[in-house]
Structure 1
Amino acid sequence: EVSLDQLRDRADRGQAIAAAASGVASLLRSEFESQRVAGVIAIGGSAGTTIGTAAMRALPIGLPKLMVSTLASGQVRPYVGDKDIMMLNSVVDIAGINRISRRVLGNAAHAMAGMVSHKVENPPDDRPLIAATMFGVTTPCVQHARQLLENAGYEVLVFHATGSGGRAMESLIEDGLIAGVLDITTTELADELVGGVLSAGPDRLLAAARHGVPQVVSVGATDMVNFGAADTVPGRFAGRKFYQHNDTVTLMRTTAEENSSIGREIAQKVATSRGPATILLPLQGVSAIDQLGQPFDDPIAREALFASIRQDRGNLDIMELDRHINAPEFAEAAARQLLSLLTKPN
């Protein structure tokens, strides 16, 4: 902690902004817990956005949060994090009222008023929550498993494994809201270990293990590392196998060596679980483009992934299916296994 006098004496703008962000977040959280906050709106440039969004990230999902910012049209992940913060581009600088800012700020005020006045209430639902991870290339698997789990009486929250999705899921597990995890798509670990743009950070896969939440984990989309447009791929990856998913998404095939590291990371993290856990391996491919006739089909790289998981499993249960990850039988096995773990006596 640092006092106001110390901040004044040091005259360090960066340190002052960090202290303000921390202080406002703490204050706003306290006010919310006292039921004195219905929504949060802030305006600012780089400093104001840092302070405003820090406060918003301290508040729960569902509370209206709106940041009018000069930075809203750029990379906003550091500001939004894993919360439901709306970013509105101010268009002009935050420097008085003019014909542009009047409209933008007016729209922002009306948007906040509308959200607060027309609060969305969740209908009563006491079904236990299951968190699942999905990518476009693992969608058939997750959708089929989801239907089976919902038929069994659970509500399934599906997270897009784009970094922010994985972090959001881990956060909800930490908050004690999740009864079970169907972590089909662990692709974020590939980005974290190899250097892609969709990493969820080093703590991915740890929350369920730490809190003993039953989990079934697979290796969905670990055949790929994600980048933006083709011209944004770092030069050190020249000569690698790429697949242009669309104009703004470039996928790079993971090598056998990288897959070995990814498998080791998955096995070692899941092996620390305090609750029941199973790793499920689809031997015929881990994504829609990792199968016979598809651009990322690579049996050697797949086997390196599976072999490292087997080697570092410890006492962990592993199920191997001679199926592709998107085969109905694989989804059914994943759902059945999670249901079994959820009903397993402690």
Structure 2
Amino acid sequence: MSPTKAGRAPVILLIGTVDTKSDEMAFLRESVEHLGGSALVMDVGVLGRGGFTPDILNSEVAAAAGVTLQQVMDTGDENTAMKLMATGASLIATQWYVEGRFDGLLALGGTMGTDLALDVANALPLGCPKVVLSTIAYSPLIPPDRIPPDLIMRLWAGGLYGLNRLCKAALGQAAGAVVGACQARAAEADPRPVIGMTSLGSSALSYMKKFKPALEVRGYELAVFHTTGMGGRAFEDLARRGYFAAVMDFSLQELVNDLAGSCVSAGSERLLGAGRAGVPQIVAPGATDMVDFAAWTRCPEPFIGRSVHEHNRLIASVCIDPEMRRHVARAIADRLEQATGPTCLLLPMGGVEQWDRPGEPLHDPEGLKAFTDEMGHVVSPQTVFQPVDAHINDEAFAQAALRVFDGWVAAGLVPPGVVDVTEERKAA
């Protein structure tokens, strides 16, 4: 068994309603122990006591939310009651994880338990193993912005009421998933500063192929995030927590999706995490000329008649009109103005993604001109603004970004890279 922290076996925080699911929670605890881990059980039920005494009582969960358990019950509304318990459970879980009391989360529930579990999982940092065993796993009832980007979810088949062979299989596999995730081999120590970059695959935006070797030779590690919703959320979370030495946020298509109400969204906080944390950011408006939608559905009503690119059977993109492109430019400028750290906006005048080149399905010179004209008028003076006479996938764009980056390193705004990684690792 691979130890986790301080040579001990994985400790799993189990969350569920012990009052109504005592047998299931007890089986989960036994499953974790059978796999060599140990479990802390948090009871988030409000109907009474279950068949065993949990490690964290439901009264303690309520107290963490600033109320008594009786006050929770007196609300007379199950939705209000569960929101209060979700608040308390999230606060306790966050504090206990910071204190190193557990290594991973496993939550169990139907719609009520899943609703609470998503709040707790979102409160924990990226990288903490999180498994939710739910009767509504992958259901359209769950909005994308409620799903943590690193969540493992499994269907709780046949487990709504009482134990049976199907339920036990689901419980046991969920326990194996979280214990295994906690036992997974940790990444090797690497002294190189990490640069966070966003991109939309490698066909629409291919610049990372130029940046990866250029940054590595400078002594940095590059982490590229796929901006299809969850990728942007993970990127924002890590930027906000100061994980990156700097960011190259060159794919802002999730921002456009959010403005248009698309399901392919990273939420309303996109393009704010790094800036608010003071992380140096070089930004470019990659893929801001289109809105994504599920390819197996109809094109969204407001965009019917506009050019469409069907990337595959899952995702398609529709070109937005010039007026919306001006709206996007204003939104970008507004978010960059809120930054507290060094910020540079590079504006590729020749286009913002591969499918907008001449002859490609989303080529729209009128829309590009509307965007670049508006961008030039609305950028705040505190944002360094550099138009680049090139397409975003051209070598000239990459060189322009690297010149800004190198200047920031020389000025001490970005920590220097570590070129001789092998020697640094030996020293560590």
TM-score range, shorter chain: over 0.9
Once residues 31 and 270 of structure 1 are traced to their aligned partners in structure 2, the CA distance between those partners, rounded to angstroms, is 35
The CA deviation string for residues 23-49 of structure 1, in whole angstroms up to 9 with x for no partner, is: 111112222223220222122111111
- Tell me if 1:123 matches 2:188: yes
Q: Cα 1:95–1:71, aligned 2, differ >3 Å: closer, same or farther?
A: same
- Tell me if 1:222 matches 2:263: no
Once residues 345 and 117 of structure 2 are traced to their aligned partners in structure 1, the CA distance between those partners, rounded to angstroms, is 41
Q: Which residue of 2 aligns with 1:279?
A: 345
- Tell me if 1:146 matches 2:217: no
Contact conserved, 1:148 with 1:332, CA < 8 A, in 2?
Answer: no
Q: 1:336 aligns with which of 403, 414, 418?
A: 403
Q: 1:54 aligns with which of 89, 111, 119?
A: 119
Q: 1:210 aligns with which of 237, 251, 276?
A: 276
Query: What SS is found at the alignment partner of 1:182?
Result: strand
Q: Cα 1:108–1:199, aligned 2, differ >3 Å: closer, same or farther?
A: closer
Q: Which residue of 1 aligns with 2:261?
A: 195
Q: Which residue of 2 aligns with 1:23?
A: 88
How far 1:214 sits from its partner (Å)?
1.3
* Matches for 1:157-172 after TM superposition, within 5 Å: 157-172=223-238
> Aligned partner of 2:319: which letter?
R
The CA deviation string for residues 66-97 of structure 1, in whole angstroms up to 9 with x for no partner, is: 11111113245344233x11001123343222
> Aligned partner of 1:332: which letter?
Q
Q: Which residue of 1 aligns with 2:322?
A: 256
Deviates more, 1:178-187 or 1:85-94: 85-94
Q: Cα 1:332–1:94, aligned 2, differ >3 Å: closer, same or farther?
A: farther
Contact conserved, 2:75 with 2:81, CA < 8 A, in 1?
Answer: no
Q: 2:388 aligns with which of 303, 321, 326?
A: 321
Query: What SS is found at the alignment partner of 1:303?
Result: helix
Once residues 100 and 296 of structure 2 are traced to their aligned partners in structure 1, the CA distance between those partners, rounded to angstroms, is 48
Percent identity of the aligned residues? 34
How far 1:251 sits from its partner (Å)?
0.9
Q: Cα 1:3–1:285, aligned 2, differ >3 Å: closer, same or farther?
A: same
Query: What SS is found at the alignment partner of 1:251?
Result: strand
Q: Which residue of 2 aligns with 1:12?
A: 77
Q: Cα 1:230–1:67, aligned 2, differ >3 Å: closer, same or farther?
A: closer
How far 1:142 sits from its partner (Å)?
2.1
How far 1:207 sits from its partner (Å)?
2.4
How far 1:241 sits from its partner (Å)?
2.3
How far 1:304 sits from its partner (Å)?
0.9
Contact conserved, 2:118 with 2:148, CA < 8 A, in 1?
Answer: no
Contact conserved, 1:132 with 1:182, CA < 8 A, in 2?
Answer: yes
Query: What SS is found at the alignment partner of 1:5?
Result: helix
How far 1:152 sits from its partner (Å)?
0.9
Q: Which residue of 2 aligns with 1:44?
A: 109
How far 1:260 sits from its partner (Å)?
0.6
Q: Cα 1:78–1:212, aligned 2, differ >3 Å: closer, same or farther?
A: closer
Deviates more, 1:291-300 or 1:192-201: 192-201
Contact conserved, 2:159 with 2:166, CA < 8 A, in 1?
Answer: no
Query: What SS is found at the alignment partner of 2:317?
Result: strand
Query: What SS is found at the alignment partner of 1:21?
Result: helix
- Tell me if 1:290 matches 2:335: no
Q: Which residue of 2 aligns with 1:71?
A: 136
CA-atom RMSD in angstroms: 2.0
The CA deviation string for residues 92-121 of structure 1, in whole angstroms up to 9 with x for no partner, is: 3432222322222222222233333x2422
Once residues 148 and 107 of structure 1 are traced to their aligned partners in structure 2, the CA distance between those partners, rounded to angstroms, is 43
Contact conserved, 1:230 with 1:244, CA < 8 A, in 2?
Answer: no
> Aligned partner of 2:82: which letter?
I
Q: State TM-score, norm by structure 1.
A: 0.92
Q: Which residue of 2 aligns with 1:177?
A: 243
Once residues 236 and 321 of structure 1 are traced to their aligned partners in structure 2, the CA distance between those partners, rounded to angstroms, is 31
Query: What SS is found at the alignment partner of 1:307?
Result: helix
How far 1:54 sits from its partner (Å)?
2.1
How far 1:138 sits from its partner (Å)?
4.2
